[in-house]
Chain A
Amino acid sequence: MTKILTIARYQLLRTVRSRRTIWLQVFMPILLIFILGSALSETFENKDRDIASVTAGVVNSDAGAAAIFMNSESSTDRLTFQAYNIREELTEALEDRDIDYGVVVPEGFTTKVAAGQPSEWELYPGFDEVNSMVAESYIESMLNRMNFAQSTAMTIGAGTADMATIGDPSMNYVESVRPDLSGKDYSAIEYYAAVMLVMFVLYAGMSTGLAFAAEKEEYTLDRLYTAPVRPIHLIAGKMLGSGVVALGQSAVIMLCTRLFYGVDWGDRYLLLLLASLLTVIASISLGVIVAAFAKNGKTIQIVFTLIIMSMTFISGGFNPRLSDNIERIGEYTLSYWASRSFVQLILDSPLSTIFQHLSWLGMIAFLLFAGSVLLGRKAVSHE
């Protein structure tokens, strides 16, 4: 273990002393976040748009008034309801883009309202902002009418609510909550901060690959192997050293973007650390895998640049509004799940949503790490 730590420590020292690394991994991302965030901020602005007909998925566990209202609303030409049995089916349909919006009406909703007790609907916005907004405005309007109707019913004696409270115009019996986004939105700078953070952590993976190649090209690999060092010491030490640098890089980018551009990364520090850690593990592992096949540093640079740029592009890293087909391909990339994990943290999304993204990211990181374990010896082979 001491040999691994020694190799890691000196790898870290050599990396932070490299001007190229500091420029590439710290200054470049901060600069690019500013440039992209400023130049493409219009992409995130709202403009007048034609409103299309939208479909909202509904999990209705209430047999009362809500069901009647849903049925009446289904006749509008702007909004169509699609029934689902459970919440998971609904969120899956949202993920698959079968529906534009999701609503969950809890069991006993009508009874609670009639009893004068507050109750909540869960609203799930979909991928398309405009369609979500259309669905939401219809549903909000529907809720207002339902509040009114229920209040009226209770006032004439059908319910058991406190008359004084029902008469209060500020009182709203039915509240809606937005479990996905908590009403928070994000700016172009925040979006690009997440995307660029991921992109440049991937460059840390390239630095790892280059570190392996440099040991061969500068003849120090043979020297290391004349010492009592096993390949596993070398792989683990280099990965650990590069990983610590990459984690530090993430922290510096987060800190700088918060200080200079006001990016709010949220206050879930442990989850931010977890997202960073998984991204770093995936990136460093990718570096080892590429180094195992590349003959020299130049090849590693070319291959990595291609991987990083194409993954960042198809995951919406340069332009968040891509065609559906490209976006669907992007969902298979490390960049997509890593950047979306950070975006969810910026949006302060519910834990379930964040963990869903982190799970995908974790799975990708695990697969790449397993690959690096299998191919690591080849990356540090000196024969």
Chain B
Amino acid sequence: MSFVRLHNVVKRYGDKLSVDHLSLTIKQGEVFGLLGPNGAGKSTTIKMISGLLQSDQGDIEIDGLSIRKNVLEVKSRIGVVPQEIAVYENLSAKENLTFFGKLYGLRGKELAARVDEALEFVGLSDRRSDKPGTFSGGMKRRLNIACAVVHGPKLIIMDEPTVGIDPQSRNHILESVQVLNQRGATVIYTSHYMEEVEAISTRIGVIDHGRLIANGSLKDLMAQISQEEKLLIETEGLSAAAVEEIERHAAVKRVSREEGKLEIYLNHSQAYLQDILFILSKNDVRIESLKSVEPDLETLFLMLTGRKLRD
């Protein structure tokens, strides 16, 4: 059963087309990883699903309700964890949660119970009376999440929730996402960290130039690039002529160079390894190390968008 449905959604900023006839369906109970380079239309899509922006064309349905016609009802079913830490510094952790809980219509004992539950969930129960100003970056991120889940939303949208935090808090957040999902929440998760998306997503969508260019489970997506491998070669005396010759090889799909480091994407690296080594030797390039890498999501992303995720 689809919980989120985007149908032919278009969003323009002046002349610039940010989201280009995007259609997407996310099923109830899924953790949907949304990937895309900067400026791909990912944040705009997230904002439209959150009800922060209105689409110029098309419609978005959440839990069977059109966001255009029922914006407040839809918003009450969503919890958004923004990329930035959006909490009030001069309210305590508990007061922050109480405030946002009240905005979602929670009152009395139910509100108190939900606030306690959310604090417990993000591991901030013992700091409930402290103000966020005294928190570490990771604790602030966790409070940021607690504010979004205090009302028990059916859909949780997390926009890069682990930016700039320590590994311990990052693990805590990733575990939290899985717990929320196990409790029945549908999650849309965006991140620049491929390994995070690989670890928690049941389905992944790749967006570029406002279009969904890949969509499926990690296994499905990997199948698309199973033939492609990556050779990492560290060299000395690498010349432009050598790189150009490698690029001209029929089996080579792409080459990226960073000073003496070469990344070569090709089908069946083992079969053509000798050719590559021959070209380098012919151009007087000395090989310092060589490694063959299995395809991963980063490879897929590069293949699809021609850019690295952090570009």
Contact = CB atoms under 8 A, between A and B. Distances in A.
A49 interface: no
Contact of A226 (B50, B95, B102, B105): B50
Given A226-B78, A228-B75, A218 B52 contact: no
Contacts of A226: 50-52, 75, 78-80, 82, 148
B89 interface: yes
A6 interface: yes
Interface stretch (A9-17, A91-99, A250-258, A263-271): A9-17
Given A13-B95, A230-B72, A382-B52, A223 B104 contact: no
Nearest to A3: B103
Interface in A218-262: 218-220, 222-230
B90 A225 contact: no
A218 B86 contact: yes
Interface residues of A, number: 23
Given A17-B90, A218-B86, A228-B75, A10 B99 contact: yes
B232 interface: no
B53 interface: yes
B84 interface: yes
Contacts of A10: 88, 91, 95, 99
Question: Number of contact residues on B: which range applies?
Answer: 20 to 34
A220 B87 contact: yes
A347 B87 CA distance: 48
B48 to A, nearest CB: 12
Contacts of B207: none
Interface in A118-146: none
A225 B72 contact: no
Given A10-B91, A14-B90, A229 B103 contact: yes
B104 A225 contact: no
Interface string B68-86: 0000110110111010111
Given A6-B99, A225-B52, A227-B104, A219 B90 contact: no
A16 to B, nearest CB: 10
8 pairs of A and B residues whose beta carbons are closest in the complex: A219-B84, A226-B80, A223-B86, A228-B72, A219-B86, A227-B103, A228-B75, A6-B102
Interface of B: 50-53, 72-73, 75-76, 78-80, 82, 84-91, 95, 99-100, 102-105, 147-148
29 contacts: A2-B102, A2-B105, A3-B102, A6-B99, A10-B88, A10-B95, A13-B91, A13-B95, A14-B88, A14-B90, A218-B86, A218-B89, A219-B82, A219-B84, A219-B86, A220-B86, A222-B80, A223-B82, A226-B50, A226-B52, A226-B78, A226-B80, A227-B103, A227-B104, A228-B103, A229-B103, A230-B72, A382-B52, A383-B53
Given A6-B102, A17-B90, 16 more contacts: A2-B102, A2-B105, A3-B103, A10-B88, A10-B99, A13-B95, A14-B91, A18-B90, A222-B82, A225-B52, A226-B50, A226-B78, A226-B148, A227-B75, A228-B105, A230-B72
